[in-house]
Amino acid sequence: MNLLDYLPGVPDFPKPGILFRDISPLLVNPAAFQNAIVQMERLAEEFDYTHILGIESRGFIFGSALAHHTHKGLALARKPNKLPLATHREQYGLEYGSDSLEIAQSTLPKNARVLLVDDVLATGGTLIAANQLLLSAGFEVSGAVTLLEIAALNGSQILDRHGIKNKTVLIC
């Protein structure tokens, strides 16, 4: 099964020059979604982790499915001001602006070894912010797994420079 058949590109969204990959066709097809999670699990086997961090918002989908499939705990990295309790926060840049991620201070146990999960690796800004967020909070980051990498943006090389080991199912 070629998962790219289920991830059409939408040009100039959310801004001109950005090619947005729509995951909806993959999610609506049970065989394609299951195939994606199985492939992500195979890549995740290379990392020693106790918990998964799903990154808002599409990382929630893949992170929760992977956590369920691997019997690991799931934590969520949220956009600002969505959590009622005290949080750790990290600001980061995107290819089309800037944003922040937060995690509740009480979410993960002190000895957690965390696998970052997101849908698309573009410039790496979101994964770098999630990594820094967890490190600042005192957790160990085991690595990152993404469904798709946009090769032209060199996200893997950027993550390497930040010491983040990354595995990706598809590169386009």
Instruction: Just list the catalytic residues.
Output: 58, 95
Q: What are phi and psi for residue 125, nearest 5 degrees?
A: -60, -40
- Strand (E) or helix (H) holding 157: helix 155-161
Within 10 A of 65 (CB to CB), how many other CB atoms are there?
21
Residues 6+ apart with CB under 8 A from 60: 54, 76
3-class SS of residue 77: strand
